[in-house]
């Protein structure tokens, strides 16, 4: 009878995980934040107990725990999508570790991030000399984003026989419909300028803007909450055949 219970509970745990992970969404392992990684381990541990705890008559209890954990995870994900402060708490924030070619040791200490890890991740990006780096940002998922100095970037055809120009970081001015006043002040601009630029693009309300980013060359990128796409591209298998 024990083997039959194991088989039944294993099938139950397997399909419960399949069902809940489909609801919770998909994400590459390399893109997981530390919280998501630990969350996944805990979720799998509960499922393992559900599959193997035979003879204790606790199947319903373990299934309830698995369901409750999935519900809490789903609620947290939805809440984090709507709240930037909550996202910062759950996922963390990107941290600049190299700025204008200077390594920021204080930021590295705060993240408990050492030079061995920095140099390793630079090599993974194809950078073998740290002096070639203008900016390096440690992302919440542990990946390192690297901006090379302009003279070290691969040369395109239009760059031949042309002197290289300095490129700084782009600046987020609007995120999730909210103006980033601190960023505006840092670049010497104000809200009136930003609203004027949005008005030129036919945007009447800041809340319509999902993301607005200003490049170091002065180009403003604006992404609206509602994209004006009549037929969005669908790359899933359910897309209709033309």
Percentage, residues of the chain above pLDDT 70: 83
The C-alpha atoms of residue 176 and residue 181 are separated, in whole angstroms, by 14
Which has the closest alpha carbon to 168: 203, 137, 212? 137
What's the Cα-to-Cα distance from 242 to each of 144, 233, 239, rounded to whole Å? 40, 12, 9
Output the average pLDDT for the chain: 81
Q: Counting beta carbons within 10 angstroms of the beta carbon of residue 74, is it exposed (0 to 12), middle (13 to 18) or buried (19 or more)?
A: middle
Query: What confidence tier does 83 reach under pLDDT thresholds 50, 70, 90?
Result: confident
From edge to edge, which strands make up the β-sheet containing 209-214?
Answer: 178-179, 171-175, 209-214, 220-224
Spatial contact of 149 and 134, defined as CB atoms under 8 Å apart: yes
Name the residue with tokens 């630990």: 38
From edge to edge, which strands make up the β-sheet containing 144-148?
Answer: 102-103, 95-99, 133-138, 144-148
The C-alpha atoms of residue 210 and residue 174 are separated, in whole angstroms, by 7
pLDDT at 33: 74
Q: For residue range 144-156, list pLDDT tens digits in order.
A: 999 998 777 776 6
This prediction has a pTM of: 0.60
Query: What confidence tier does 233 reach under pLDDT thresholds 50, 70, 90?
Result: very low
Q: Which residues pair with 133 in a beta bridge?
A: 148
Considering 87-91, 122-126, 208-212, 232-236, the range whose residues carry the highest mean pLDDT is 122-126
Spatial contact of 133 and 148, defined as CB atoms under 8 Å apart: yes
pLDDT at 161: 63
The answer to whether residue 240 scores a pLDDT higher than 60 is no
Name the residue with tokens 């060359």: 217
The answer to whether residue 93 scores a pLDDT higher than 70 is yes
String of DSSP letters for 100-160: TTEE-HHHHHHTT--HHHHHHHHHHTT---GGGEEEEEE-TTS-EEEEE-GGGSPPPGGGT
Using alpha carbons only, what angle is made at residue 75 by residues 8 and 70, rounded to the nearest 5 degrees?
A: 15
Using alpha carbons only, what angle is made at residue 92 by residues 140 and 179, rounded to the nearest 5 degrees?
A: 105
Q: For residue range 12-50, list pLDDT tens digits in order.
A: 888 888 888 787 765 555 567 777 888 888 888 988 888
pLDDT at 40: 85
Domains, the chain, with CATH or none: 2-90 (no CATH), 93-159 (3.30.240.20), 171-224 (3.30.240.20)
- E strand or H helix at 210: strand 209-214
More confident residue, 166 or 130: 130
């Amino acid at each position: 009878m024990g083997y039959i219970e194991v088989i039944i509970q294993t099938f139950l745990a397997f399909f419960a995980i399949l069902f809940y992970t489909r609801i919770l969404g998909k994400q590459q392992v390399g893109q997981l934040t530390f919280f998501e990684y630990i969350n996944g381990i805990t979720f799998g541990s509960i499922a393992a107990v559900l599959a193997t705890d035979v003879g204790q008559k606790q199947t319903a209890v373990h299934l309830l725990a698995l369901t409750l954990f999935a519900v809490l995870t789903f609620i947290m994900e939805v809440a984090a999508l709507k709240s930037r402060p909550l996202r910062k708490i759950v996922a963390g924030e990107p941290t600049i570790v190299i700025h204008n070619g200077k390594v920021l040791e204080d930021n590295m200490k705060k993240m408990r991030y050492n030079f061995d890890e920095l140099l390793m991740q630079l090599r993974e990006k194809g950078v073998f000399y740290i002096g070639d780096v203008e900016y390096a940002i440690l992302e919440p998922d542990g990946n390192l984003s690297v901006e090379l100095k302009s003279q070290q970037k691969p040369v395109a055809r239009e760059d031949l026989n042309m002197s290289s120009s300095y490129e700084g970081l782009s600046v987020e001015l609007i995120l999730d419909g909210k103006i980033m006043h601190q960023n505006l002040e840092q670049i010497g601009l104000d809200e009136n300028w930003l609203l004027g630029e949005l008005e030129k693009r036919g945007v009447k309300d800041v809340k319509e803007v999902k993301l607005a980013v200003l490049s170091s060359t002065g180009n403003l990128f604006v992404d609206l909450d509602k994209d004006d796409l009549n037929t969005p591209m669908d790359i899933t298998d359910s897309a209709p055949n033309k």
